[in-house]
Structure 1
């Protein structure tokens, strides 16, 4: 059973504003761990004005990348190596000919690959309250899905091209989300697949209160840490996520996660019980 339409129909709204300053953002949203949609906040960013598939194809240098060969998290079969420009060409051809591309370019460390693009983004209203920021790009075709998961860090997510649908819910519904015991770096995965829902296995899932948000180019969404979220691309899209960490989190949360990740890679923690065992093969 596909639950997406039912969840969307019964979803509750979140706060929506057009402008915000860093002080208000911290006081009313970071401190209260409350989600927020800032409509059109990034519409004048260089990224929103310039970035496109053609923009990326005009780069002089190509880069080797890792592509996910299916939907992010539950149906993933791992990562495979590819060429950045070849992938962008596939997306462009699919757009032109109404074709299909299954691969998804996720969590690309875009500043590492293309440091000149730093000037095209402005997360300063958020970064005034963080000491470390992990900025990643998400580039993929229409229909890509990131199944429900909860990140351990606050995330400010900017939509650059195309539209994406987010379905989110508060950590107060953790038990209803049936957290997976599989290892995933920086997050907790949900065992429920809402595109193929099994009521017998997850009888309490429908008792959860969800919020649905449609992101358009220039929109910015704040997803507080530990909030569950499902993401579906409605168009071929380009997005940027910014996971921010305070000084305290740098020496507690990040250190802890890196230790567990290191133990996992060495086979001492949740060996073969993860979403990453095929990564980089």
Structure 2
């Protein structure tokens, strides 16, 4: 059975895909319905022009996605992008199923996952499609030798501050009373030894075999406040070869929901039991926001705070972290722009006291986060993070 036929099997309600026709003007509606008919009406004739037509619809939707702030984009527009991305996959596979074609189809589906939104009846459509396409690809060209580790020296001694305490796998009751309720940071040890990721992710060939052809967003530059900072979409394979193994140009897979995009990796981790605690009377969200942080030595997240409680889990590698209480916010000189309101202007390693004289009143907390440990960062606590060597971290945000 061919790939196109197998992909169509994942569709639970093709009429839901058809209803996104309402997102288009009259001209594009006709184009969309022509492409839809080829995908879902039996015995429709394939024409090379169909690829140009489906691309014109995707171009229109991408323009719509780039208008205004991301949070203001209607969900129906993002769902339409999901539907049309899937349709393009079906149309492209009609052209052939050689390795290069499948890779291009997988990239199209990943873009749908990154920019689109899950459908209601066909919620896992693109996730299932991407998994099937990825499994059909050869991974022999991805193989790399075991990495030689290089560790940067720590600079924590340049920061005057208190050491963050640590505790071996405390009970939920202890964590709640001593740290969660009073909002005190702490390093938690011996909490992830049961994770398959602890051993599996050390092997780059495992990651490449599972996700080497998947498209992911990569931050290029020293950190996101740098004027030369940018983001690029590339395959995980290209990221590992261009930026992870060769760190001459800094690249960082940072704060990306990799585990919804690639559920196979989600199977390698577990949500910490501490995330069951909540500050909300309605017990908060059912699931935390889970993000991946994969990069070489030298990656930096500048001093900032997050709006939720955070458990930062270090699967491998070492990171040094400097933290400040929300009570010290005025001493850290947050940026005045709406975009960077949660980011400080002060660099705790090189504070400019002439420009930021109040910084002298701030009290720093600092720690090294080693492999197998997790750091509890209470909501709105400021934190500056530097990777001393190649590392893979997972953050769990919850309320």
Q: TM-score range by the shorter chain?
A: 0.7 to 0.9
Please tell me whether the aligned partners of residues 43 and 219 of structure 1 are also in contact (alpha carbons under 8 angstroms): no
Given candidates 12, 35, 56, the residue that maps to 2:207 is 56
Which shows bigger deviation, 151-160 or 37-46?
37-46
Please tell me whether the aligned partners of residues 134 and 244 of structure 1 are also in contact (alpha carbons under 8 angstroms): yes
Q: Deviations 1:168-193 (Å, cap 9, x if unpaired)?
A: 111111111111122348x7110113
Counterpart position of 1:207: 361
Counterpart position of 1:72: 223
* Cα separation, 1, equivalents of 2:316 and 2:243: 13
Structure 2 unaligned regions, length at least 5:
1-153, 279-285
Counterpart position of 1:270: none
Would you say 1:27 and 2:177 are equivalent positions? yes
Counterpart position of 1:171: 326
Please tell me whether the aligned partners of residues 156 and 320 of structure 2 are also in contact (alpha carbons under 8 angstroms): no
Please tell me whether the aligned partners of residues 295 and 390 of structure 2 are also in contact (alpha carbons under 8 angstroms): yes
* Cα separation, 2, equivalents of 1:90 and 1:61: 13
Greater strand content: 1
Which shows bigger deviation, 155-164 or 47-56?
47-56
Determine helix, strand or coil for the equivalent of 2:331. helix
Which shows bigger deviation, 150-159 or 113-122?
113-122
By how many angstroms is 1:9 displaced?
A: 5.0
* Cα separation, 2, equivalents of 1:156 and 1:78: 27
Tell me which stretches of 4 or more aligned residues in structure 1 moved more than 6 Å. Answer: none
Q: Deviations 1:96-132 (Å, cap 9, x if unpaired)?
A: xxx5231111111121221122232223312322533
Would you say 1:219 and 2:370 are equivalent positions? no
Please tell me whether the aligned partners of residues 137 and 238 of structure 1 are also in contact (alpha carbons under 8 angstroms): yes
Which shows bigger deviation, 66-75 or 137-146?
66-75
Q: Deviations 1:77-114 (Å, cap 9, x if unpaired)?
A: 231221111112234532xxxx5231111111121221
Cα–Cα, structure 1 residues 121 and 215, in superposed 2: closer, same or farther, change >3 Å? same
Counterpart position of 2:336: 181
Counterpart position of 1:243: 397
Would you say 1:42 and 2:204 are equivalent positions? no
Counterpart position of 2:261: 113
Determine helix, strand or coil for the equivalent of 2:178. helix
Q: Which has the larger radius of gyration?
A: 2
> What's the TM-score, normalizing by structure 2?
0.55
Given candidates 276, 286, 290, the residue that maps to 1:128 is 276
Q: Over aligned residues, Cα RMSD in angstroms? A: 2.2
Would you say 1:158 and 2:309 are equivalent positions? no
Please tell me whether the aligned partners of residues 101 and 141 of structure 1 are also in contact (alpha carbons under 8 angstroms): no
Determine helix, strand or coil for the equivalent of 1:81. strand
Determine helix, strand or coil for the equivalent of 1:126. helix
Considering Cα pairs closer than 8 Å and 6+ residues apart, tell me whether 1 or 2 has the greater RCO.
1
> What's the TM-score, normalizing by structure 1?
0.77
Determine helix, strand or coil for the equivalent of 1:79. strand
